[in-house]
Amino acid sequence: MSEQPLNPHSTPAEAPDDDAPGTVPVGRPAVGSTASGSTAADALADAAADVTAEETAALRAASFERARRLRQEPRFPGGPAADPAGSHHERRIRSFQPRRSRVTTGQQDALERLWPKWGLDIDGQRVLDLAEMFDGLPVVLEIGFGMGEATAQMAADDPGTGILAVDVHTPGQGNLLGLADRAGSTNVRVANGDAVILLREMLAPESLDGLRVYFPDPWPKARHHKRRLIQPEFLDLVAPVLKPGAVVHCATDWEPYAEQMLEVLTAHPRFANTAADGGYAPRPAFRPLTRFEGQGLDKGHVVHDLLFTRV
């Protein structure tokens, strides 16, 4: 957040807080004041109070700096990094907001045990060898898997397909790793970070057999539409890393976003709609009914699936 300048015409109610660095508490004269009744002892007390205020400000600044460093450090040693591609320093509109909610004991255990084996940070520093990573299986990329229930189910139902699942939500990452482990699925890898950097810098041309984007954040307010993931620029990144014939599968229960997805995908020259009428497709059997989807259906939402092939 940017700092706001102080209003020179502020009312007493708008005046800076007493504890704000560099301010003089209300009702106490500044050092050097010549107010009547002041004594040398008062001046010394004021000077001591000012020193204390400066020390308090320094301690507060140090606390903020420690908090900033903690936000950049991994929550679990050897686990997903807090900001894996921080070296990029990109000023770019993103379609996601990292969330730091509570990690359960089971999720923490899965992160500590399985992240070194099945997890990776999207740092933009290397190109992934998907054939080696997935033992030669065809690989689909899933962007945004939530708590991972649907991803784990698809992996268990189709062990012949590798799933590279990307998200920034640490509890979800741990949950998916735990679900895959309990199901005995070895065809899931969990990627932590920005999918745009993954697509742009870490995937070889024509290395993916599909892309899945299920229930992405709809960013419903008009001023936030630019944050939606499915945009022409995003498809420009996706097309080169998909094999010809690879399927892009999107699903949403937000009607205006579904309309935008259909419009953007239809207009892109590298993608063709699999629906004969050029509209939405029935939900394919391989996509499980997610908890989020069930909540939307309970509210009367209509879920739209879109399936396009890369030409």
Q: Which residues are catalytic?
A: 217
Q: In the 8-state DSSP scheme, what is residue 102? A: P
Burial of 58: CB neighbours in 10 Å, binned 0-12, 13-18, 19+ = exposed
Which of 110, 284, 138 is closest to 214 using CA atoms?
Answer: 284
Contact 196, 168 (CB under 8 A): no
Contact 248, 211 (CB under 8 A): yes
DSSP string, 36-97: TT--HHHHHHHHHHHHHHHHHHHHHHHHHHHHHHHHHS-SSTTS--SSTTGGG------S--
Bridge partners for 304 per DSSP = 252
